[in-house]
Amino acid sequence: MGGGGAITEWKDIPMELLLRIVSLVDDRTVIVVSGVCSGWRDAICWGLTQLSLSRCKNSMNNLVLSLAPKLTNLQTLVLRQDKPQLLDNAIETIANCCHDLQDLDLSKSFKLSDHSLYALAHGCPNLVKLNISGCSAFSDTALVYLASFCRKIKYLNLCGCVKAASDEVLKKPV
């Protein structure tokens, strides 16, 4: 055979071809395919632009910590919770890895503190939509800080954010 080199293993399939194949199949098939090998799983993560982990009932924090470094093209992430699982370290990892994030749902993340908003302010400047409803620990100072760095925000759900949604902070120019 000439200098073309044959593909002899699954892991040798070029990333571009794999992403094209994955884009043509349904979500269930993508999940099955991700079990073929770690290279395919990584490629699938790399190609994801939208992800919802809201049905994750346990260990959401650990899942985010392990997945976020592979989700560099993510634009939409839903982390809505029935019981609070997320901690600041998961949000910091998202902010450090998912710089293209535009839509983030952190509703009912009762365990998050201002550190999460500071991390998002520095790592996710393209945020357009942020749902932090029920995140009662965020302060108005952190919210103003976030708004000063994330200038593209058009939608911000503050329902239940009693410390961050004061009349004074909502009047402040950014």
For the stretch 4-13, pLDDT in tens is 667 667 667 7
Domains identified in the chain and CATH numbers: 8-47 (1.20.1280), 49-171 (3.80.10.10)
pTM of the model: 0.79
pLDDT band at 18 (very low <50, low <70, confident <90, very high): confident
139: left (phi over 0), alpha (psi -120 to 50) or beta: beta
Beta strands at 76-78 and 50-52: parallel, antiparallel or unpaired:
parallel
Contact between residue 153 and residue 127 where contact means Cβ atoms under 8 Å apart: yes
| pLDDT tens digits along 74-126 | 999 999 998 889 999 999 999 999 999 999 999 999 999 999 999 999 999 99
Contact between residue 150 and residue 174 where contact means Cβ atoms under 8 Å apart: no
